[in-house]
Amino acid sequence: MQKRTLGNSGLEVSAIGLGCMGMTSAYGPPANRQDMIALLRAAVDRGVTFFDTAEAYGPFANEELVGEALAPLRDRVVIATKFGFDIDLQTGERRGGVNSRPEHIKAVAEAALKRLRTDHIDLFYQHRVDPNVPMEDVAGAVGDLIAAGKVRHFGLSEAGAGSIRRAHAVQPVAALQSEYSLWWRGAESEVLPTLEELGIGFVCYSPLGAGFLTGKIDEHSTFDSTDFRTAVPRFAPQALKANMALVDLVRVVAARKGATPAQIALAWLLARRPWIVPIPGTTKLHRLDENLGALAVELTASDLQEIDEAASKISLQGERLPENALKMTGL
């Protein structure tokens, strides 16, 4: 398995990680627990060392799953989890909005350690920026957890360039996690240059556009009522129909390379920067193997130029998140 280091942090992870959210939430009913434990352990057997979860996924169910699956393999893996939503730590009730008060961050860390069955969190992200808590206070709280040995590295998720700079000045940020793919490239204008300047890694969630870039979704696709994509503007039938031009482009490159569209989408991300690590999620072993196959796909400078030139001529439709969720992002 190829490895990558997240910026200047020294945190080394597999070049492709595994996003675990969809195993318990967001994409319809939870998958079978024992099947997911087997999938997580199979990923480790294949060399995956980087696993992404969060208290909000469930809430709590995802961390509990990851903890059970990876506890016997703890010395072989890097576990990333998150704090920052206003969730009752006893009941799991979502109270709405965000909460990054320092005392809450520390309580979330203690609860996550128990659910993950570990004595340290390798990478602890602020899930969303809290406009009511100075970023310096957030970074300081995570710094305290690092000093106590409960957290190894500090991360941010969906933060803008200004927030990244403020946090990094107090406690070095190892990685930013945000959406990035051929379908959504909003990080390229300000965030990517900031990460490069500061030596911060970039962990890309939804690197396959929540499944769209696999070529398995079109305007006739339907989703379970509990699938978040039912509320996402870019998954509306008309937007999907318009955006298929991007999938067609990826298919052309895939055919030439003897690869799948998903593998081309991931290979494109891997070619952008050596400190970019995509974390595609899946509940299927054959999809895990397909995604890892992207590491064997080499896109030349000519391939990348062709993709960028063709993509620049495609007018993509639909916001990437519902309006209320977009308000909580800094990109």
Per DSSP, what are the bridge partners of residue 203? 177, 277
Q: Report the C-alpha gap between 48 and 40 in whole angstroms.
A: 9
Which of 27, 57, 125, 180 is catalytic? The answer is 57
Q: How many CB atoms lie within 10 A of CB 270?
A: 22
Contact 126, 159 (CB under 8 A): yes
Beta bridge partners of 205: 179
Residue 180 a catalytic site member:
no
Task: Quickly count: other Cβ atoms within 10 Å of residue 147's Cβ.
Answer: 10
Identify any residues that bridge with 252 across adjacent strands, giving them in sequence order: none
Residue 183 and residue 207: Cα distance in Å, rounded?
A: 8
Catalytic residue list: 57
